[in-house]
Amino acid sequence: MSEPRPTSTASAMPVADPMVPTPYEVVGRRQEGVDTVTLTLAPTGSALPTARPGQFFMLWAPGVGEVPISLGGTGSDGTIEETIRVVGAVSRALVGTAVGGTIGVRGPFGTAWDLEAASGRHVLFVAGGVGLVPLRPSIAEAVARADEFLGIGVVVGARTPADLLFGDLLADWGRSGVQVVTTVDRGDRAWHGHIGVVTEVLDLVDLDPAATTALVCGPEVMMRFTAQALEGLGVELSDVQLSLERNMKCAVGHCGHCQLGGGFVCLDGPVVSADRAAPLLRVRER
């Protein structure tokens, strides 16, 4: 991952330049799963524009590098929540930033989930692993506006029960009438959800496939299988939204790092409809 242009002082920071990180202070830190942490970030000076669920920021760990991380949540006080899973050097450095430490933030970038498309219909959220992070603010919005939908379903897959994110939130959503189905690849008798992949439990959510809009986020293989399974149940691919993951560098359509098909995931994505993404998901990353 490349380093963004370092900046001199926080107060002189021009927020208009999308290549220049804005300093945010870590004001909260919560361990989520085994290897995942949620950071609450507050602007030290002027704040970045408000992000919409599905959009992402470029988070810069000074001296280490910069990576794309989706909006996890927005506080009323201008703070943003970012949930990060440790996979390599940059994510480790971000997660390791102590409360009081500074992280550089650029964005928000990319396309957002189109929850309006689900208005008057069933809305089904399907998340795999850390894919629940970008869906979380959108699910929260749907729950807050529940009467606008015929019903809300949330299907979450994880590797093991210990890897399942936001257990308390899932329980809260369940209590407020959302149909929540959890499934893990590996579990034991103590586990109260299902064992298997998300595609095996989609039909446990009671919905009308022809009147369903699905928002899906997870590893690309999982999204590919899920889109196929939803299509098999009778959901139109044009009513399925996916969030593509490609390595990114500039996030503004300059470097070509995230090129996929004829477009750039940082501009045309990450959220795209499955009918557009299906051929792209079969394209290997260069």
Partner 1 sequence: MKPIADLLAEHPFFEGVGAEELTALAGIGTDVRFAPGEVIFREGDAADRFFVLRSGRVGLEIHAVGRPPHLLTTLSSGDVLGASWLFPPHQWQFEAIALDETSAVALDAAELRRHLDADPALGYLLVQRFAGLLVKRLQAARFRLLDVYGDV
Ligand X SMILES: Cc1cc2nc3c(=O)[nH]c(=O)nc-3n(C[C@H](O)[C@H](O)[C@H](O)COP(=O)(O)OP(=O)(O)OC[C@H]3O[C@@H](n4cnc5c(N)ncnc54)[C@H](O)[C@@H]3O)c2cc1C
Contact 229, 256 (CB under 8 A): no
Q: What residue type is assigned to position 3 of the chain?
A: E
What is the smallest separation between the CB atom of 68 and partner 1, expressed in angstroms?
15
253 contacts ligand FES (rule: CB under 6 A): yes
Q: Quick one: 82 or 163, whose CB is closer to partner 1?
A: 163
Q: Which two tokens stand for residue 245?
A: 């993951």
Q: Which of 128, 161, 209, 269 binds partner 1 (CB under 8 A)?
A: 128
Q: Which of 17, 141, 200, 285 binds partner 1 (CB under 8 A)?
A: 200
For residues 155-181, b (16+ Cβ closer than 10 Å) or e, as one string?
bbbbeebebbbbeebbeebeeeebbbb
Question: Using CA atoms, how far apart are residues 275 and 84, in angstroms rounded to an integer?
Answer: 29
Contact 237, 231 (CB under 8 A): yes
Q: How far is CA 158 from the centre of its chain?
A: 15
Q: Quick one: 110 or 153, whose CB is closer to ligand FES?
A: 110
Q: Which of 257, 272, 278, 280 binds ligand FES (CB under 6 A)?
A: 257
What is the smallest separation between the CB atom of 247 and ligand FES, expressed in angstroms?
8
174 contacts partner 1 (rule: CB under 8 A): no
Q: Which of 32, 239, 245, 268 binds ligand X (CB under 6 A)?
A: 245
77 contacts partner 1 (rule: CB under 8 A): no
Question: Using CA atoms, how far apart are residues 13 and 221, in angstroms rounded to an integer?
Answer: 40
Q: Which does 84 bind (CB under 5 to 8 A by kind): partner 1, ligand X, ligand FES, none?
A: ligand X
- Quick one: which segment of 11-19, 173-181, 245-253, 272-280 binds ligand FES (CB under 6 A)? 245-253
Question: Using CA atoms, how far apart are residues 40 and 121, in angstroms rounded to an integer?
Answer: 33
Question: Using CA atoms, how far apart are residues 107 and 139, in angstroms rounded to an integer?
Answer: 22
Q: Which does 89 bind (CB under 5 to 8 A by kind): ligand X, ligand FES, partner 1, none?
A: ligand X
234 contacts ligand FES (rule: CB under 6 A): no
Which residues lie below 8 Å from residue 27, measured CB to CB, with a gap of 6+? 40, 41, 42, 79, 99
Q: Which does 254 bind (CB under 5 to 8 A by kind): ligand X, partner 1, ligand FES, none?
A: ligand FES
91 contacts ligand X (rule: CB under 6 A): yes
248 contacts ligand FES (rule: CB under 6 A): yes
Q: What residue type is assigned to position 250 of the chain?
A: C
Q: Which of 264, 269, 272, 274 binds ligand FES (CB under 6 A)?
A: 264
Contact 248, 265 (CB under 8 A): yes
Question: Using CA atoms, how far apart are residues 5 and 206, in angstroms rounded to an integer?
Answer: 50
Residues at the contact surface with ligand X, assessed by CB under 6 A: 1, 56, 65, 67-70, 83-85, 87-91, 130, 133-134, 245-248, 270
Residues at the contact surface with ligand FES, assessed by CB under 6 A: 248-251, 253-258, 264, 266
